[in-house]
């Protein structure tokens, strides 16, 4: 062991894209690897939980956690890593805001299990087996992690020092975050390590957005061939750039696809989805209620659209639940 700073990576409810993002640092990864000791990284390195438990408290300089929290195991692990780390970073939209898995908050465990294990068209489960936390087989009892009704962002479980936004975070932000950590030149606790201004500020197409935009029909990306120089909102595509933090360099828009909001809100916004919905609603070019309804019908999945990455972290958190939260 050297005395290089120790860094850990961990994943919770996530797709693996954030791990890819770390690898996407390409040559820069080598520089990071040379500067630090990676002491824990389940996706790449063979360390166990016991190795972490054996560390001193605060021994790790920084742990980057990606993924949302939806199982007891994930919660345990982040508490453990919190204890062992000087700095805990929510890495990516799921850890920061709940992410795509957070849309599960429109249902509860029972409904999710029923769909995933019993009723989905591709499921073949005649015995009706659903996940259990306690199971006996061949004379052995095994315990499995419990599954929460509600998906949580990392900061709803433990204290988070910084967040790197994105689905997934972009290499420039990761490099900057790592650089800041290693240099010790850190902003105030709680800062999201990206510009605190909306995406339009760095969008090449901003000047093409009219001041008096009136949308009479929302389009979906597959329905039109969008002009690649004009503001996508002006073309009826639902671009959430106005309600989304900058920092990605407007990459999606560069590929002629609208912003879906993965960088989350700016620090001044309490609820990205509500802000985005009201901003978009204000562009509806009609006064007649029936006409307004027709135009809004062009947004087939409002929650999935406006709260795609942040339902757990929104003011709503989840759909109203009549049952008391338990873990199965």
Partner 1 sequence: MSGPSLNGDTRIGVYVCHCGTNIAGPIDVEAVTEYAAGLPGVVVARAYKYMCSDPGQELITHDILEEGLDRVVVASCSPSLHEETFRRAVAKGGVNPYLFQMVNIREHGSWVHDDVEMATAKAKDLVRAGVARVRFHRPLEPRRVPVDGSAMVVGGGIAGIHAALTLANAGKHVYLVEREPTIGGHMAQFDKTFPTLDCAACILTPKMTQVRNHPNITLWTMAEVVEVDGFVGAYRVKVRHEPRFIIEDACVGCLECIDVCVFRNGKTPDEFNLGLSKRKPIYIPFPQAVPQVVVIDPEACIEFRAGCRKKTCVEVCADRNAIDFQQVATFDEVEVGTIVLATGFKTFDAGRIPYYGYGRYDNVYTALEVERLVNAAGPTTGEVVLRDGRTPQSVGIIHCVGSRDENTNTHCSRVCCMYSLKLAHLMKEKTGAEVYNFYIDMRTPGKGMEEFYNRVGSEGVHFIRGKVGDVYPEAGDTGRLVLQAEDTLLGRIRKIPVDMVVLATGIEPQSDAEDVRRLFNITCSAGGFFMERHPKLAPVSTFTDGVFLAGTCQGPRDIPDTVAQAGAAAAEALALIDAGSILLEPNTAFVSAEDCSGCKTCIGMCPYQAIAHIDGKAVINEVLCKGCGTCVAACPSGAIHQNLFDDDEIFEEILGVLIHA
The residues binding partner 1 (CB under 8 A) are 196-201, 206-207, 209-213, 241-243, 245-246, 265-270, 275-276, 278-279, 282-283
Closest CA to 233 of 198, 262, 209, 202: 209
**Nearer to partner 1 (CB atom), residue 61 or residue 248:** 248
Q: Are 283 and 215 in contact (CB under 8 A)?
A: yes
Closest CA to 169 of 231, 99, 221, 271: 99
**Nearer to partner 1 (CB atom), residue 103 or residue 276:** 276
Sign, CA dihedral 256-238-167-199, equals positive
d(CA 253, CA 260): 10
**Nearer to partner 1 (CB atom), residue 57 or residue 196:** 196
d(CA 71, CA 50): 19
The Cβ of residue 174 has, within 10 Å, a number of other Cβ atoms equal to: 25
**Nearer to partner 1 (CB atom), residue 214 or residue 220:** 214
**Nearer to partner 1 (CB atom), residue 31 or residue 254:** 254
CB neighbours of 30 closer than 8 A, spacing ≥ 6?
Answer: none
CB neighbours of 316 closer than 8 A, spacing ≥ 6?
Answer: 271, 273, 307
Task: Write down the least CB distance from residue 151 to partner 1, Å.
Answer: 24
Task: Write down the least CB distance from residue 259 to partner 1, Å.
Answer: 11
Place of tokens 């199982």: 71
Task: Write down the least CB distance from residue 240 to partner 1, Å.
Answer: 8
Task: Write down the least CB distance from residue 198 to partner 1, Å.
Answer: 3
Q: Are 74 and 67 in contact (CB under 8 A)?
A: yes
**Nearer to partner 1 (CB atom), residue 210 or residue 221:** 210
**Nearer to partner 1 (CB atom), residue 14 or residue 170:** 170
Task: Write down the least CB distance from residue 263 to partner 1, Å.
Answer: 11
Task: Write down the least CB distance from residue 192 to partner 1, Å.
Answer: 13
Task: Write down the least CB distance from residue 300 to partner 1, Å.
Answer: 21
> Looking at residue 61, what DSSP letter applies?
E
């Amino acid at each position: 062991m050297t005395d290089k700073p120790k860094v850990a990576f961990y994943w919770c409810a996530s797709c693996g894209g954030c791990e890819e993002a770390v690898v996407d640092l390409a040559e820069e990864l080598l520089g990071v690897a040379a500067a630090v000791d990676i002491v824990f990284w389940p996706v790449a390195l063979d360390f166990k939980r016991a190795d972490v438990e054996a560390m001193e408290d605060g021994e790790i300089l920084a742990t980057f956690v990606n993924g949302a929290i939806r199982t007891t195991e994930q919660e345990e692990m982040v508490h453990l890593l919190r204890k062992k780390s000087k700095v805990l970073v929510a890495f990516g939209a799921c850890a920061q805001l709940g992410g795509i898995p957070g849309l599960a908050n429109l249902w509860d465990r029972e409904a999710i299990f029923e769909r995933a294990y019993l009723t989905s068209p591709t499921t073949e489960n005649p015995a009706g087996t659903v996940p259990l936390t306690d199971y006996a087989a061949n004379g052995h009892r095994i315990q499995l992690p419990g599954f929460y009704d509600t998906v949580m962002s990392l900061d709803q479980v433990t204290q988070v020092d910084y967040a790197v936004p994105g689905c997934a975070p972009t290499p420039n932000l990761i490099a900057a975050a790592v650089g800041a950590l290693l240099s010790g030149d850190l902003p105030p606790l709680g800062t999201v390590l990206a510009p605190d201004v909306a995406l339009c500020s760095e969008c090449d197409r901003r000047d093409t957005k009219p001041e008096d935009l009136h949308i009479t029909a929302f389009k979906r990306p597959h329905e039109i061939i969008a002009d690649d120089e004009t503001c996508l909102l002006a073309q009826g595509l639902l671009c959430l750039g106005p309600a989304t933090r900058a920092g990605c360099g407007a990459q999606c828009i560069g590929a002629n696809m609208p912003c879906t909001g993965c960088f989350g809100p700016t620090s001044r916004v309490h609820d990205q989805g509500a802000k985005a919905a009201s901003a978009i609603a204000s562009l509806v070019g009609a006064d007649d209620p029936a006409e307004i309804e027709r135009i809004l019908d062009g947004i087939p999945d409002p929650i999935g659209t406006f709260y795609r990455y942040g339902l757990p972290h929104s003011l709503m958190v989840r759909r109203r639940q009549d049952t008391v939260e338990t873990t199965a």
